[in-house]
């Protein structure tokens, strides 16, 4: 984790020093530090057969989705530092290292303890310098403003207990939400007439890149033999923040709000995603269209994302070449009954990914609610019936790649398509707390399996209950 924290710490320190220096020349203002956060839990029941492994997760039972701690420090009227630290699907992580002397020799031991998969990450960490007139410079770890979900990803904002396919489970955005990148740019807004407002965000970013995760699997087999499996999973992830990544991406969003009732926005992301060790350059170009509108108590919100990843076969060929020109050394294979296996997976690399989602909501505040145990004592309790329809297309995804001597021998490309319909109710005793109930139907429209949950069935149905909160 050092490679993440060191540059962040440097950035934070430099930003803070600059902010303090600048604050001294601005008029006195109320300084403040707010510590807040949000989180969510979910229970899911579905008709996926028992014991079926679901990559990416959609298991029956309870899920601790995430807990995010936020800090917001206003150093002066014009300087602000904001951070979000996320604990996702994780209860504990414990690292133990020790070096001991035993029987005349030194023994080094390193132990990692924890429960099943999860992560601790910094979702946002930026400094904002207000220029006046509603314009500001923002720099640090920021959220690329492609679409509206990524920049409004707080769980308590939403009324359903699962994030959208487009932004999370079958991402049409380059990196699933919460997608963050190191960068700097401008945010602001200006009024047009008495009612209209235009707001924008534009950042130069390090940019998403194909990155790898190493998975080490120890497997017992027949007595006396074991297998060690090393799997390198290569997928698009947020770019490195350790100073090894050039600024190779640009993301923007332009929103027009003709009235208070809503806004419509266009957005984009343009960058190079191939890592330097591949010595090729392939672009991502994403476009988004999103909006939200209120008609009294009725509300419509939606987003559409289209992402093109250039010539993915070139990327696959470059991988084949890179792997063939490298070597793996092991001395254990012949000396002991330990079988070693190395796999490389290109996860989710497709030529195009696109999709949309739309939410239809009604903010219902029945008079009787405050008289029942549900709403008694709350100022503005509301029940929100919601219907979400979403659909995702993945075109020419690399399913399987076989190569020999750096040349591609076989390449299986698949195209998949899925829709999801979710009908739910969210009870909000407070704006910041939601009790969510939803029925979810996933349907395969093309391909041999669902995109999410990734199982070889034509459809799946589930019932979800969730709790979201912020403070």
Size of the site for other proteins (CB under 8 A): 51
For the chain, the 3-state helix, strand and coil shares in percent, each to the nearest 5, are 10, 60, 30
Count CB atoms within 10 A of the CB of residue 245.
Answer: 20
Binder to other proteins among 332, 431, 439, 441 (CB under 8 A)?
A: 431
Task: For residue 4, state whether it binds other proteins (rule: CB under 8 A).
Answer: no
Task: For residue 282, state whether it binds other proteins (rule: CB under 8 A).
Answer: no
Binder to other proteins among 13, 52, 213, 246 (CB under 8 A)?
A: 246
CB of 378 to other proteins, least distance (A): 12
In our burial notation (b when 16+ CB lie closer than 10 A, e otherwise), range 195-223 reads: eebbbbbbbbbbbbbbbeeeeeeeeeeee
Task: For residue 380, state whether it binds other proteins (rule: CB under 8 A).
Answer: yes
Answer whether 202's CB lies under 8 Å from 189's CB: no
Q: Contacts with other proteins in 191-230 (CB under 8 A)?
A: 191, 193-195, 197, 202, 204
CB of 175 to other proteins, least distance (A): 18
Answer whether 65's CB lies under 8 Å from 469's CB: no
Task: For residue 289, state whether it binds other proteins (rule: CB under 8 A).
Answer: no
CB of 20 to other proteins, least distance (A): 19
Which residues are paired to 368 by β-bridges?
A: none
As a whole number of angstroms, the distance between CA 281 and CA 274 comes to: 6
∠36-203-247 over CA atoms, to 5°? 115
Task: For residue 30, state whether it binds other proteins (rule: CB under 8 A).
Answer: yes
Q: What is the residue-wise DSSP string for 22-70?
A: HHTTSPP---EEEEEEEEEEEEEEE-SPTT---TT---SEEEEEEEEEE
CB of 239 to other proteins, least distance (A): 13
Binder to other proteins among 26, 32, 213, 372 (CB under 8 A)?
A: 32
Answer whether 86's CB lies under 8 Å from 63's CB: no
Task: For residue 269, state whether it binds other proteins (rule: CB under 8 A).
Answer: no
Binder to other proteins among 17, 20, 93, 131 (CB under 8 A)?
A: 131
Give a three-class secondary structure readout of 85-139.
EEEECCCCEEEEEEEEEECCEEEEEEEEEECCCCEEEEEEEEEEEEEECCEEEEE
As a whole number of angstroms, the distance between CA 211 and CA 241 comes to: 13
As a whole number of angstroms, the distance between CA 437 and CA 463 comes to: 8
As a whole number of angstroms, the distance between CA 227 and CA 374 comes to: 56
∠163-40-463 over CA atoms, to 5°? 60
**Which span (7-15, 86-94, 186-194, 445-453) binds other proteins, by CB under 8 A?**
186-194
Task: For residue 247, state whether it binds other proteins (rule: CB under 8 A).
Answer: yes
- Considering beta carbons, is residue 289 or 413 the nearer one to other proteins? 289
- Considering beta carbons, is residue 195 or 276 the nearer one to other proteins? 195
CB of 120 to other proteins, least distance (A): 23
Task: For residue 135, state whether it binds other proteins (rule: CB under 8 A).
Answer: yes
- Considering beta carbons, is residue 64 or 469 the nearer one to other proteins? 469
Binder to other proteins among 67, 82, 126, 452 (CB under 8 A)?
A: 82
Interface map 302-341 toward other proteins (x if CB under 8 A): ----------------------------------------
Write out the residues near other proteins by the rule CB under 8 A. 29-30, 32, 34, 36, 72, 74, 77, 80, 82, 131-135, 137, 152, 184-186, 188, 190-191, 193-195, 197, 202, 204, 246-250, 259-263, 292, 294, 296-297, 363, 365, 379-380, 431-432, 470-471
């Amino acid at each position: 984790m050092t490679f993440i924290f060191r540059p962040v710490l440097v950035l934070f320190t430099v930003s803070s020093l600059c902010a303090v220096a600048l604050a001294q020349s601005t008029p006195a203002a109320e300084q403040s530090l707010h510590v807040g956060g949000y989180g969510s839990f979910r229970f899911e029941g579905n008709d996926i057969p028992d014991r079926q492994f679901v990559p990416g997760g959609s298991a029956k039972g309870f899920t601790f989705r995430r807990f995010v701690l936020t800090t917001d420090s206003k150093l002066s009227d014009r300087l602000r530092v904001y951070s979000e630290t996320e604990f996702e699907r994780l209860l504990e992580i414990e690292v133990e290292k020790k070096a001991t002397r035993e029987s005349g020799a030194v023994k080094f031991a390193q132990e990692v303890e924890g429960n099943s998969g999860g992560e601790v990450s910094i979702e946002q960490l930026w400094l904002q310098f207000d220029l006046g007139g509603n314009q500001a410079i923002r720099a640090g770890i920021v959220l690329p403003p492609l679409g509206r979900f990524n920049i409004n990803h707080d769980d308590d904002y939403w009324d359903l207990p699962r994030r959208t396919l487009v932004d999370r489970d079958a991402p049409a955005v380059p990196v699933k939400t919460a997608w963050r990148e190191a960068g700097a740019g401008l945010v602001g807004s200006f009024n047009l007439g008495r009612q209209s407002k235009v707001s924008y965000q534009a950042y130069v970013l390090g940019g998403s890149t194909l990155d790898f995760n190493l998975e080490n699997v120890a497997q017992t087999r027949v007595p006396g033999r074991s297998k060690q499996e090393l799997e390198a999973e290569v997928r698009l992830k947020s770019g490195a923040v350790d100073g090894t990544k050039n600024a190779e991406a640009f993301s923007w969003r332009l929103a027009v709000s003709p009235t208070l009732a809503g806004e419509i926005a266009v957005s984009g992301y343009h960058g190079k995603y191939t890592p330097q060790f591949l010595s090729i350059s392939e672009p991502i170009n994403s476009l988004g269209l999103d909006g939200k509108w209120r008609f009294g108590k009725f509300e419509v919100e939606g987003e559409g994302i289209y992402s093109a990843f250039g010539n993915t076969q070139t990327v696959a060929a470059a991988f084949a070449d890179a792997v063939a020109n490298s070597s793996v050394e092991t001395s254990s294979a012949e000396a002991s009954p330990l079988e070693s296996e190395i796999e490389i997976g290109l996860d989710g690399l497709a030529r195009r990914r696109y999709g949309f989602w739309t939410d239809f909501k009604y903010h219902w505040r029945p008079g009787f609610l405050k008289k029942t145990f549900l709403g008694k004592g709350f100022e503005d309790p509301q029940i929100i019936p919601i219907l979400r329809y979403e659909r995702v297309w993945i075109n020419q995804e690399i399913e399987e790649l076989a190569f020999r001597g750096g040349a591609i021998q076989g390449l299986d490309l698949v195209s998949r398509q899925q829709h999801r319909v979710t009908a739910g109710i969210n009870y909000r005793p407070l704006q910041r707390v939601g009790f969510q109930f939803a029925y979810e139907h996933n349907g395969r429209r093309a391909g041999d399996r669902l995109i999410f949950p990734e199982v070889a069935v034509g459809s799946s149905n589930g019932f979800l209950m969730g709790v979201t909160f912020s403070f």
